[in-house]
Chain A
Amino acid sequence: METLNGAAVEYTSDGEISEQMSGTVTHSLRKLGKRKVNILIMGRGSSGKTSMRSIIFDNYEPIDTRRLCATNEIETTHFPFLGHMLFNIKDCGGQDTFFNDYLSHKRRHLFHNIDVFVYLFEAKNGDEEFAKDLKQFQSLLSAICKGSPLVNVFCLIHKMDLVKPDQREKLFKDRENELINISKPAKISCYMTSIWDESLYGVWSSIVYRLMSNVHKLENTLKLFAEEMECDEVILFERATLLVVAKYVRVPPSDEKRPQRVSKTIKNFKAKLDRNKISHDLFEIKLSSNRIDFVQHQKLKSTFFKIITRQLSTTKNKWLTQSDVWMRKSATILEIS
């Protein structure tokens, strides 16, 4: 709960400071035992910040992001996550004038108590543009590290789909090295992303993973459950965003992007169901070798459980009761976190 002390400051889109309002939000959160997580998304103009946010948190399809227009100053959205966290996402407009503003007028408030800082670089930018980006990133990073020393920094080399497939790996390595070099001593994580594939889910899942204080406890229970039920893979998803909260894999798969791909597929399906105002409670697929189940907890509506089992090892009734017991257990863990 380290983020709760200290005044969190919010900007409305007009640029006004609504300190008092934000104070009440924080206060009521504290009463509920909730934790406010400040996420700052930055990057140059039209690098895809709002598109990314809309896809992950607002169920946009990639193609729909064409309709989005440029963000003016800072757009703040709140998103309750897993019942005990409230994401406070600040999506900052990327035009140069805004940047100067952030670093001068708003410096004092904006960079305080940031838990996650996401910066987007456009992959197709040439070295010259990238150098400009780097400069901006560097000044932002130093400001943020001063204001919030515990920040997690994520750099996304975005719009990777515009780079030829054979050059992607090399470009990413180059950029990553450069970024790590200039941001020392702060630690950063780099990812290559695109809105057209599942990579964004991977990035945001690792962001969530960093934010969970007791994720190891959760993973231990997952492991116990998996062994009891002879599952090969148990993944816990958040319900609305379908980000991976925790997972246990007994046999490491050949394709490590598997959870992300599942996230994306199920999210698409969920979006389609949402259009008809329905949702699925239980979902199982039997293949000749595997069995995939998605179960949703009746009371704790914020999580999904996906369980891959070898077939025939357990009867369904036992499976259902066991999973129910386990879900209740993990729900308590989530609540006390």
Chain B
Amino acid sequence: MSFNRVEEESFSTTFDIGSLPKHYEFNEFISDEDVESDRDDLPRLVLMGLRGSGKTSIQKVVFQKMSPNETLFIGSNNSMLKDVVNNSAFVNFQICDFPGHFDFTDSEYDVQSILQGCQSLVFVIDAQDAIASALNRLHSVVTKAYKINKNIKFEVFIHKVDGLTEDTKMETQREIHQRANDDLVDSGDEQKIYISFHLTSIYDHSIFEAFSRVVQKMIPHYATLENFLNIIIQTSGIEKAFLYDVKTKIYVATDSSPVDIQSYELCCDMIDVVIDLSNIYGMGQNPGLTNDPAFDDQSSSLIKLNNGTILYLREVCSFLALVCILREDNFEKQRIIDYNFVILRKGIHKLFELKDKEKESIESRNPPSFK
């Protein structure tokens, strides 16, 4: 008899959600220089924020499938946590989780080199506590990071908004936005630095949504992917298409129509249930291989809802799935949709190859030799 939750094992490594946390380096501070240099080619995402703002919780919930209620037991960490997310060809990066008390002058962390390879800096603000000092901190972090690396994209997560009412949420966001910009104006950086703001909470899908947007900015081929999806929704009569990373439920791309949080949640729920059921029924074929995902490229799923909508899921390649929302009437042309999907899949695979080639060409830095 297996229980998902055991009191003595609140940090147990078994998660009932089907996807598996890949790198299980729980609270492990990687000081090994070799390992680090191995991963240096990956894009880097840095998490910063005041102590207790919820940085580590975010990381655990989004990337290690910890249940939000268990994050209460996470203590504050005093060293930098590094983790590599390497799910699919599009979602692979390194996360650096800085401790809250960290200081730029601190020699313990190699801030210079970390920020040099950093693509995205996520600053977490606790919406319910110490906003003023968080804003001061944000300003100093942003200006210093900008001096080191001018290409960093700054993202602010206004976190723990689950405790606020709908009105105060908006107000808080407006206020934080205003004051952060005022600070930048005061120091004369407003033309150069652009910060985006997201309202997040680990208790609903907003944190996944926000992370999706952050990750999308890190994908070099995002525009191409978006274009692919635009074409498929036009030709197949689909209302909305998401390209999901099924492990983290981050969507790496969507078509250019605006994202409605409800449909995003619906698709997340669908992925959850499909993966759970595939795990129940798919494991029988490969007993012993617990790492072997039951969800493979033959997988597809269809849910007909009673409001005349259809959710259609197809696997693109390992851990990447296309989820479409469409009207029931348009699903009569299922064969066309399937055909279009096959073409889309080919396109995405080509994109992968392109990406790999780019990588190779960067790695082999030898100039081409002419005769």
Contacts and interface: CB of A to CB of B under 8 A. Distances in A.
Given A161-B6, A285-B274, A288-B298, A272 B269 contact: yes
B181 interface: no
B69 A280 contact: no
B301 A276 contact: no
Contacts of B277: 262, 265-266, 285, 292
B30 interface: no
Interface residues of B, number: 40
A269 B273 contact: yes
Contacts of A262: 277, 280
Given A254-B287, A287-B294, A276 B266 contact: yes
A202 to B, nearest CB: 10
Given A199-B1, A254-B284, A286 B273 contact: no
A286 B274 CA distance: 10
A41 interface: no
- The dominant DSSP class at the A interface is mixed
A162 B5 CA distance: 9
B223 to A, nearest CB: 32
B306 A279 contact: yes
A287 B6 contact: no
B303 A161 contact: no
Contact of B303 (A276, A283, A290): A283
Contacts of B300: 285-286
Contacts of A265: 273, 276-277, 280
Given A258-B280, A286-B299, A197 B4 contact: yes
B186 interface: no
Contacts of A283: 301-304
B162 interface: no
B2 A161 contact: no
B307 interface: yes
Interface in A262-295: 262, 265-266, 268-269, 272-273, 276, 278-290, 292
Interface in B259-315: 262, 265-266, 269-270, 272-274, 276-278, 280-282, 284-285, 287, 294-296, 298-307, 309
A246 B301 CA distance: 25
Given A262-B277, A266-B273, A288 B302 contact: no
Given A63-B69, A292-B277, A280 B306 contact: yes
Given A192-B1, A197-B4, A262-B277, A287 B296 contact: yes
A276 B299 contact: no
A164 to B, nearest CB: 7
A196 B4 contact: yes
B167 interface: no
A280 B304 contact: yes
Contacts of A185: none
B8 interface: yes
A239 interface: no
B302 A161 contact: no
B7 interface: yes
Given A164-B8, A196-B3, A199-B1, A278 B276 contact: no
Contacts of B270: 269
Interface residues of A, number: 41
Contacts of B278: 285, 287
Nearest to B268: A272
A161 B296 contact: no
Contacts of B299: 285-288
Interface in A170-199: 192, 194, 196-197, 199
Nearest to A159: B7
Contact of A165 (B3, B269, B272, B296): B3
A323 to B, nearest CB: 14
Given A284-B301, A287-B278, A290-B281, A160 B3 contact: yes
Contacts of B3: 160-161, 165, 194, 196-197
B285, B306, B309 interface centre (most CB from chain A within 10 Å): B306
Interface string B219-243: 0000000000000000000000000
A111 to B, nearest CB: 32
A30 interface: no
A284 B301 CA distance: 5
Contacts of A281: 304-306
Contacts of A192: 1
B304 to A, nearest CB: 4
Contacts of A169: 1
Nearest to A294: B303
A279 B309 CA distance: 11
A308 interface: yes
A199 B303 CA distance: 27
Nearest to B67: A63
Nearest to A160: B3
Contacts of A84: none
A161 B282 contact: no
Contacts of B295: 287
Nearest to A282: B304
Interface in B1-59: 1-8
Given A283-B304, A287-B278, A287-B298, A276 B262 contact: yes
Interface in A112-165: 160-162, 164-165
Nearest to B311: A280
A281 B331 CA distance: 15
A298 to B, nearest CB: 11
A60 to B, nearest CB: 15
A266 B272 CA distance: 10
A107 interface: no
Interface of B: 1-8, 69, 262, 265-266, 269-270, 272-274, 276-278, 280-282, 284-285, 287, 294-296, 298-307, 309
Interface of A: 63, 160-162, 164-165, 168-169, 192, 194, 196-197, 199, 253-255, 258, 261-262, 265-266, 268-269, 272-273, 276, 278-290, 292, 308
Q: Nearest 8 pairs between A and B by C-beta?
A: A288-B298, A282-B304, A269-B273, A196-B5, A265-B276, A285-B301, A272-B269, A161-B3
13 contacts: A162-B7, A197-B3, A269-B269, A269-B272, A273-B266, A279-B306, A282-B302, A286-B299, A287-B278, A287-B282, A287-B295, A290-B281, A292-B281
Given A196-B3, A284-B303, 4 more contacts: A194-B3, A269-B269, A279-B306, A280-B303
